[in-house]
Structure 1
């Protein structure tokens, strides 16, 4: 069923190559946060600070000791996954409203700038994350991750304005590829700092903290390029009736009520939220698993995750090329099978062995970029015109660094068993359920039902 209630929208002019490159570079800018902060340094660093507050020292596993978080006693090893989960629970209420506002605002660039610089400032504020200040770290991460998600909602809503149905897989894949190059480049600089920390007179904790701060500065610096090149367009859903904020809340309610008119789009969204929650949890907690369960040092973990970033560039481009031949839907399904194999291999990895971990990281890199880039472009085909921001607000509930059920399950599994292996294998549920749900979506029919023209190959 096609929505006929939305007012006519002025067709925006075609995008230029310069504008698309500017759009790609916001992925370059913000990926430093998801790579350096979420994936590599903050999890182990915040866990170490929580352990110090609990009275643990060195390699003490801290069994049975807890810290106080707003009156709740939790294990230090569960602090980071619980914080990630809480941040995403809060974004459930924030991001869809941000999307609705973006659809009605003629100042979308300014919205992007506000959220990007807020997140970058909170990240840079982790310069003061020392001693036993685990609550400061958790609070700053909550703010940064919510701002990150909000900025990506606005960023994603540009995609249908920049590329038509036949171009969208390629444009989305190039954006993700730029993001992995950007995140990988900053991480490479931080790898050098890890390697030379003794010569620089820095401890492992100092290097982690300065690396986290560098991600905030990088994010702020490179956000200037998309802000210079992207163009504001007439509101996708027409002008707001009154205040943009109040109209955003009003329209969000209408959108949620109207989702039943697009059941296939809703079903795809549910499938995506399930399997991508698993992907994001693996990304966010890989370094914690490597440190705490496999007992691997930063000298192994950081270069491996760096390798993943650059392989993800080729993975995004490669799976994008595969999607041109067999379609994005089939390519994403193949990637979910590969993710299941990755988790089984992670569960079986021996402790203290670097080579198997590095090989597993290579497999993650190949499958990572493509599964995310193609999911984004596929979802963009299922959105009714004029509602891009609103729907991407719902979509972003489980995008970069914004998973919540996965970290919650990981934290609960660890809390119940004190085993990171049990916690990591529990995530296989997301890929199995996500695969079955996505397989059941008739994608071509869903695109037509949303009022859009499907690409030749799906």
Structure 2
């Protein structure tokens, strides 16, 4: 008996009352989360962004400029992801309606998953093309559309394979499978990359293997989960253009009908608000850690792995909690957890530098040469404007491309004076000689906190928690990963199951299409708000805005009458489709 079978058949499992056939279907449905989560953890989050940047910069440098706008690698990557999201958002409601009325949920899932998997597999060939970055970007774009689109139909199957009272448990199991599967695949990829020293072919092999992983495990879902058998409006042979035409008509009709589903609309509004903030927090966490806290790249990868593996029991914990206090209260608990985690993240701060070896530039006095040897120096970015200016400013003193640098006393003093200039974010320390124990820290160095209101919180936490316990920024970030892992599964799984509980079963594809469209269509609000506040003020101000957005979502969520929403859905099915 497999591990999955033991979990589902355990006497303590809520699913133990189901027949073997029902458990088999649920297990197969959960395996799709296991299958496609690898794409998001390994390709979207961990490997592909870094690899694409290296390909783009190798050919395009800092990027092309049109009408004063610079298309850097990160900008092109972000725009591509946004365009893929936009296409899925627009098409989801239409294809959801078609799937409901033509019995195509599983077929569309299969086609989109196969598309995503095949395009991911083709990314291996990028090195053999004339323009590797463009080839990679194009097929990543298609893969992202494929996997994101397939998730719409995967989610719409939930109310058809799980009894009402088990929606929370089954939804949570799906996410738990996904976190575990994605985490295991990423762990294998990290070990593989380390073993082969991050070679180009190793990176491409990891990316391509994700396509094989995704479709290979998805076959389990495709073969076992049945196409929902419900009464549908369309009759006769399926015709594509006729179905699309009917879908647009139904879309207009549904927009007018939505006022009948007031409770569902309130929930959708709450979900859009807090989920947008959560997705933004997940999206900017890595950049916040690397840029503001200056965590190591290894810590960033480790935190991603921790999030994945902690999220697995986290999702199941919230499924258990929903049985005790209800789905809505459990969801509120998870989302509130997100709010408090974001507030805690605002309070993260590197510890004050206390030893010579903690500084970015370390100069040691050499008695034999009566000079100071620069034994340690940071690797500067060749695309960051401030770091380029910093390198040019000190080019007569320090050659960042040389292994050794020797400076006399006057040169060291001049170098230390440069740390008071704008745009500098480094630190320097001297050991030995007449300048022994002298140091300089730039005003924008991560350890330097301002006197403004926002920075009072990280100063306070550093004084009473981080410094006394000796928690570096890397440890703080790992704590963040543990917290995120605990609440992430609950917020995602319970949000999905609560929505499934309140949608008409006969129109699940259509409503989950709207669900996907709604949160994707407004998914720019959080990132834009964060970017504006971080740009005009500080990144910590941007994080605070996300916490506020989360708490607003919770307040709206409290006004959702779940049973009223369920009642409306049942009446709609009964009156229109004779479904029980």
Query: Structure 1 residue 19 and structure 2 residue 21: aligned?
Result: no
Matched position secondary structure for 1:73: strand
1:124 and 1:217 in contact (8 A); partners too: yes
Deviation at 1:402, TM superposition (A): 9.9
Rate the CA distance shift 1:386–1:78 in 2: closer, same or farther, 3 A.
Answer: same
Determine if contact 1:124/1:212 at 8 Å carries over to the other structure: yes
Which residue matches 1:456?
Answer: none
| CA distance in structure 2 between the partners assigned to 1:115 and 1:129 by the alignment | 22
2:49 aligned residue (26, 31, 43): 43
Shift of 1:256: 1.9
Q: How far did residue 52 of structure 1 move?
A: 5.3
- Say whether 1:125 aligns with 2:244: no
The answer for the alignment partner of 1:231 in structure 2 is 226
Write the distance in 1 (CA, Å) between the matches of 2:50 and 2:344: 22
1:317 and 2:313 matched: no
How many Å separate the matches in 1 of 2:136 and 2:155? 28
Change (3 A) 1:329 1:255: same
Match of residue 198, structure 2, among 174, 198, 202: 202
Distance 1:201 1:142, change over 3 A: closer
Is 1:185 equivalent to 2:184 in the alignment? yes
Residue 506 of structure 2 aligns to a residue whose secondary structure is: coil
Contact 1:98 1:154 survives alignment (8 Å): no
In 2, Cα distance between equivalents of 1:143 and 1:116: 11
Contact 1:280 1:401 in 2 (8 A): no
The question of 1:112 aligning with 2:109 is answered yes
Distance 1:311 1:417 in 2: 35
Asked whether the 8 Å contact 1:381–1:452 carries over to 2, the reply is no
- Larger Rg belongs to: 2
Going from structure 1 to structure 2, the CA distance change for 1:216 and 1:406 (only over 3 Å counts) comes to farther
- Once residues 50 and 537 of structure 2 are traced to their aligned partners in structure 1, the CA distance between those partners, rounded to angstroms, is 16
Q: How many residues align?
A: 427
Change in Cα spacing, 1:450 to 1:82, as seen in structure 2 (3 Å) is same
Q: How does 1:293-372 map to 2 (within 5 A)?
A: 293-350=292-349, 353-372=473-492
C-alpha separation between the residues in 1 aligned to 2:36 and 2:544? 29
Q: Is the 8 A contact 2:38 2:186 kept in 1?
A: yes
Shift of 1:424: 4.1
Aligned counterparts, 1:232-247, within 5 A: 232-235=227-230, 237-240=232-235, 243-247=242-246
Could you tell me which runs of 5 or more consecutive residues in structure 2 were left unpaired when the two chains were aligned. 1-18, 351-471, 573-580
8 Å Cα contact 1:145/1:402 also seen in 2: no
Distance in 2 separating the partners of 1:170 and 1:179: 14
Distance 1:265 1:304, change over 3 A: same
Q: Distance in 2 between matches of 1:71 and 1:236?
A: 56
Instruction: Give the aligned partner of residue 146 of structure 2.
Output: 147
Q: Deviations over 1:363-383 (max 9, x none)?
A: 000001111111111001111
CA distance in 1, matches of 2:294, 2:125: 27
Cα distance between partner residues in 2 of 1:14 and 1:80: 45
Distance in 2, matches of 1:31 and 1:406, equals 23
- CA distance, structure 2, for counterparts of residue 380 and residue 86 of structure 1: 27
